[in-house]
Structure 1
């Protein structure tokens, strides 16, 4: 039973910039750079029949390529931080692509995503890290940003059941219109 999600890949120079942020935060379990991505729609554990249906439905997505940039760092879990992330500058094209993925998944019969879409790249999972430690880390690196890059496709990824962070396997790639 695969655990699936749709995502955007990041170019090598952006991955390199993100990898330079690793370290300096005791208690952080850093995500391997080859697993950096922007999740569009977490799907979860599905049987093979549903996985095939998802892959077939995603072929229908017809959206143009667009520009994206990363900007800022933050943490999820204000009182008890549990993840460190790099922000993604939201664009109408990104929001429309994510919304289409959501509609397709609901059309297949999957439950709606309950969390609001917050585009980001997870950098680390945090355990037993204080708010003060996270605040200090963010204060030293708060000006993080990347130049804009072109998004030319999205992917369907699978992972083994785990607490996150990969390894991820690309099941399918779907080009966006030039």
Structure 2
């Protein structure tokens, strides 16, 4: 394997960083002991900039190339979400009903119906009624908000060739 560029990130299928590399887990490193890496990363990923700097933290993150709407080192997104009623798109549910008598004990046809001697409604019903807001219960439990994934080991080179600019 040829020498990597300093601060190059590689993905490995094993659980430890190779010699001269560190895991991308957001750890703080000493600037005095890693001047070349600090000169490339600065405090983009954390640290105080006088004695420490941070490595990228790829734990539970998907890499995104920087551009017009996202900056290098920016972290966004969340692993779980608790939905509110305002986040649910407007929609409706149909109720199939009949004022006829029950003719079968099975749920075939999926109609609400009345007993033979009872009326379904005591007065003419509005066919387009609104559901009461309290009828829609979302609960307060969050659900996961992550895409399918495969866990691998992101590592960053602490030693190697200092990259030159084009």
TM tier, shorter chain?
A: under 0.3
Give the structure-1-normalised TM-score. Answer: 0.18
Task: Decide which structure has greater helix share.
Answer: 1
Task: Decide which structure has greater strand share.
Answer: 1
Higher relative contact order (CA 8 A, sep 6+): 2
Give the structure-2-normalised TM-score. Answer: 0.19
Please tell me whether Structure 1 or Structure 2 has the larger radius of gyration of its CA atoms: 2
